[in-house]
Structure 1
């Protein structure tokens, strides 16, 4: 296994992502934030797919990332101390919490979000990114950027 490219200060989890360009863009954001990207299977694409690489441009080679077989596999590997899960159904804003070094930010797939089994298990950790009522949610890659850069700001990452 290759040596780490950087020591992650944040962790971003995509639960069953479906759209390669979103995942590629999120990978780029993770490199910018020096965050590790965790991908939870099943994925809606092959990790080597040309569109994924193109969306990540030349940043994917700099990314710390790992694929997990399922949610439990992720929890067994990561055991996060501080974890926030994003859902359009949450009532608490992402701006109302404190983020810490090694915080884990969890996002669901583009079409269905996180499964109820996960949101019910972590109901005290659900956050939302407020939007105008005419928009049910923002694009997944935008949501990761919004939350990730707020977490980075709070923990004082020097980017």
Structure 2
């Protein structure tokens, strides 16, 4: 597969429907999906077939045993950590081709140790005051859309005459 324009990274996702939705988003946008164990669901072919994930064969997906193995397999990656505790909105992040957008598990988000080490690369999706978080699939899609918008604006990605993402 060609190098994807953006990588979506799910740290210990728990709900299969969210991961399935994010996987479909990655297929539609040409992004790579990274899943970091432990996972809260079965990824076997039988389970995927039963869930009707007919697009999964077209998904560029990599499963990592843990955070350390993910980091080791993606040296030099620019990682944007999405968290409700960040004060910097995602719109201020300067996303570029090849960047990794990292999202935490549904029940707890990302570990505090990862967020503290991210510095300016910890970003938030703006929300109304008093709301605790967004659904993981919605948050990942919002982040993916913003990354694509920035790639299109910078010329790192383009659309064809039909308004579809141009390949290559």
- Do the structures match in fold with TM over 0.5? yes
- CA 137–79 in structure 1, closer or farther in 2 if over 3 Å, else same: same
Equivalent residue, structure 2, for 1:155: 151
Runs of 4 or more above 4 Å deviation: 49-56
CA RMSD of aligned residues (A): 1.8
Q: 2:89 aligned to 79, 87, 93, which one? A: 93
- CA 126–55 in structure 1, closer or farther in 2 if over 3 Å, else same: farther
Q: 2:74 aligned to 73, 78, 95, which one? A: 78
- Report the number of matched residues: 155
Q: Choose 130-139 or 65-74, whichever is displaced more.
A: 130-139
Q: What CA distance in whole angstroms lies between the structure 1 residues aligned with 2:76 and 2:133?
A: 26
Name the larger-Rg structure. Answer: 2
| Consecutive unaligned residues in structure 1, runs of 5 or more | none
Deviation at 1:130, TM superposition (A): 1.0
Equivalent residue, structure 1, for 2:10: 14
Q: Tell me, yes or no, if the aligned pair for 1:17 and 1:39 is still in contact at 8 Å.
A: yes
The yes-or-no answer on 1:69 pairing with 2:65 is yes
Deviation at 1:18, TM superposition (A): 0.1
Q: What CA distance in whole angstroms lies between the structure 1 residues aligned with 2:94 and 2:102?
A: 15
The yes-or-no answer on 1:142 pairing with 2:138 is yes
